[in-house]
Amino acid sequence: VSDPLLARLRDVVGAAQVLTDPDVLATYGTDWTRRFHGAPRFVVRPGGTAELAAVLAECHAAGVPVVPQGGNTSLVGGATPAAGEAVLSLARLDDLGEIDVVAGDVLAGAGVTLARLQETARAHGLRFGVDLASRDSATLGGMAATNAGGIHVLRHGMMRAQVAGIEAVLADGSVLSRLSLAGKDNTGYDLASLLVGSEGTLAVISRLRLRLVPDPPHRAVALAGFATLADLLATVAHVRDALPSLEAAALVREHTGVGAPLQGDWPLYVLFEAAGREPQELLLAEAVLDAPVPPGDAVVAADGPTQARLWAYRERHTESVNAAGVPHKFDVAVPLGALAEFVAKVEPGIRAHAPAARVITFGHVAEGNLHVNVLGVPDEAEHAVAESVLGLVAGLGGSISAEHGIGLAKRDWLHLTRPPADIAAMRALKAALDGRGILNPNVLFPAPG
């Protein structure tokens, strides 16, 4: 191809790192759920910050929009290009520094996978506070850019809480560097925090300084079955207050293809996980069974393989839903006091527009965060279904995205939970840092027109 931009990019990153093969482009142009598609103009894979900066400077000068992409595991179309846009793959920014056990942190390239960081940290008696099912593919840069949540938010918070410093490249190729080794830094705008959750619209994250936490030697996992949501919520509140070592309280709804977890069939299950310096099995069992209305049935596992088997009931939801069709995903949060009303109303609301739809709900119950996955939504009902779920959430004082972000999937509903002044301030930031609008131009803000 004789495109002058491509020739310049080949000079920067090497010919092998500018991809134009249509089959290859198609994989970068399709999101993990297969709901969003784009035909990228090319894919460019810089090998370090200097190359990334030079690539952005070239694309900026040519006015070619770029969509940053890490492991392509977004569940909201956050890394899918529109036709004619380029994909900027960060996969090759995969340097992982030495773990600093004294400071309890590490310097990692944006393209390092979560699983690799977890493995390396564990070898030093540490771990990373965020964990999620797509750990083998999800990359740290994308996780920071989307402020990913995951299964241990209850204990360690979301991605923002783990980021101690950031290096990022602006649209025009200038490099921001806040990777300072100083333990404390109170010198003006916190650019790292601003970029976390900005979904690739303000800058492209190239490196991160990430906090690590101690890896507790003892861990226990319990799975408990409940007859009603009221009983379940009362037990979760009790366990959360009784057990400071609680790491997760996850709502499990379906157990596709893994065999029944407990004797009897329960409409609702919660998976609890606790970790600490003392053995956790009895502490967790006691906390669960001491609840005002204890679960109908429960198992507790102290050994790794059984724990992994119990976690599989929770973690496999996403892949089994994907195997059954192309899902519409609603990652929402409502105040705990409104959870029962949400659960009672959400399905009838969807069915009013898509009578044959299948609704699978699971999530992170302690945070009021539900993942409402809907299969079998006809194209013509798409808008009305989203309106009904997200409108219900907003009416109950919740958030239309608890942890996956806005992406393409929810941009038209941002106004439901962000007031006009918020959106105007976000647009002003976008215009100030990316005046030509080349960075991930389609996500976050409502579609024009």
Q: Report how far residue 263's alpha carbon sits from residue 441's, in angstroms, rounded to the nearest whole number.
A: 51
Q: Report how far residue 44's alpha carbon sits from residue 432's, in angstroms, rounded to the nearest whole number.
A: 25
- Smallest distance from the beta carbon of 329 to ligand 2HG, in angstroms? 5
Closest of 318, 329, 310 to residue 270, by C-alpha: 310
- Smallest distance from the beta carbon of 324 to ligand 2HG, in angstroms? 12
- Token pair of 406, please? 């806005």
Q: Report how far residue 111's alpha carbon sits from residue 69's, in angstroms, rounded to the nearest whole number.
A: 9
| Ordered strands of the 163-169 beta sheet | 105-109, 204-211, 163-169, 175-178
Residues forming contacts to ligand 2HG in the complex (CB under 6 A) are 75, 133, 318, 329, 331, 371, 373, 403
- Smallest distance from the beta carbon of 53 to ligand 2HG, in angstroms? 32
- Smallest distance from the beta carbon of 47 to ligand 2HG, in angstroms? 31
- Smallest distance from the beta carbon of 218 to ligand 2HG, in angstroms? 24
- Token pair of 94, please? 């995969």
- Smallest distance from the beta carbon of 182 to ligand 2HG, in angstroms? 34
Residue number, 75 or 246, with CB nearest to ligand 2HG? 75
CA terminus-to-terminus distance, the chain: 34
46-to-49, 68, 89, 447 alpha-carbon distances in Å: 8, 11, 7, 29
Give yes or no for a contact between 232 and 365, defined as CB atoms under 8 angstroms apart. yes
Residue number, 209 or 364, with CB nearest to ligand 2HG? 364
- Token pair of 391, please? 């409108």
- Smallest distance from the beta carbon of 148 to ligand 2HG, in angstroms? 8
- Smallest distance from the beta carbon of 373 to ligand 2HG, in angstroms? 5
Residue number, 266 or 362, with CB nearest to ligand 2HG? 362
Give me the half-sphere count of Cα atoms (radius 13 Å) on the Cβ side of residue 418.
19
Residue number, 312 or 384, with CB nearest to ligand 2HG? 312
Residue number, 31 or 331, with CB nearest to ligand 2HG? 331
- Smallest distance from the beta carbon of 409 to ligand 2HG, in angstroms? 11
Residue number, 164 or 333, with CB nearest to ligand 2HG? 333
The sign of the torsion formed by the CA atoms of 75, 78, 79, 81 equals positive
Closest of 361, 369, 252 to residue 315, by C-alpha: 252
Residue number, 133 or 195, with CB nearest to ligand 2HG? 133
Residue number, 90 or 132, with CB nearest to ligand 2HG? 132
Residue number, 273 or 331, with CB nearest to ligand 2HG? 331
